[in-house]
A and B are shown apart, each in its own frame.
Chain A
Amino acid sequence: MILGAIAIGFVAGMIAGLFGVGGGVVFVPGLVILLGLNQVDAEATSLLAIVPVAIVGAHRQSGYGNLRLRDGLAVGALAVPFAALGVVIVNVVPERAIELAFAALIVYVAIGLLRANPTDRPTSRARVR
């Protein structure tokens, strides 16, 4: 279980770096399935794990010339009350509903990935070092 959790953490980080997400779509099911957390605790714990991942990921992307810090911080700051609202909602709604909605979310993400443009290649804009 411990080794599985470490592996799922590494995979979540890779997904975060590749797709610009926090990795929560991997952390949450990983915490539920491997470590036995309930859905809401897994979501809360996922948020904690996301923070260092996003800090390091944003820093790396800054080095690659892919970060617009001003827009990123503006969106982040404007989102704070909405994130707090989401957390309040998740703490009052029945857990099974959240679990099913989360499952629907990751199916949606998976379908999006399967339908994504298959011709994507590294572009000349990528500053490979």
Chain B
Amino acid sequence: MIAGMPRSRTLKLAAIAAAAGVFSGLFGVGGGTVLVPLFILWLGYEEREATGTSLAAIVVIAGAAVLVQLAYGNVHVRDGLLVGVPAVGGVVAGTWLQQRVPRRQLQVLFALLLLASAGKLVAG
């Protein structure tokens, strides 16, 4: 149990953590796809709060998962830096934009990018 927190809330956090953790390890993602909607639906978070808090959880989740992957010898450090370093600039731009713009067009663009990637992955 987490000190000073009601039991039901602790259980909800634990359930969210379990789902996001398995997701992260299985798919090499942070788990935000699970975290953000559950923070909103189960804990009553406002949307931006959910995205901000999700990122903090992801630091720990992805940090733990990458250590295990390092032990398996699957991490390509140079390639990780090649995409990860520019992504740090991207996340600053993304959080800045999030405070200012309606996201509908961005959502549609992102969705199309994902659908194209899925097609390419399935085609092999």
- Enumerate chain A interface residues (CB-CB to B < 8 A): 2, 5-33, 35, 37, 39-58, 60-62, 64, 66-69, 71-91, 98-107, 109-114, 116, 118, 120-123, 125-129
Contact = CB atoms under 8 A, between A and B. Distances in A.
A84 B68 CA distance: 6
Interface residues of B, number: 98
Contacts of A26: 113, 117
A76 B58 CA distance: 7
Nearest to A61: B52
B90 A9 contact: yes
A contact patch SS = helix
A85 B91 CA distance: 28
A37 B69 CA distance: 14
B121 A17 contact: no
Given A7-B86, A18-B97, A116-B104, 17 more contacts: A17-B90, A20-B32, A25-B117, A35-B76, A39-B121, A41-B74, A43-B28, A54-B30, A54-B62, A56-B91, A61-B51, A66-B52, A73-B56, A77-B60, A82-B18, A110-B115, A126-B100
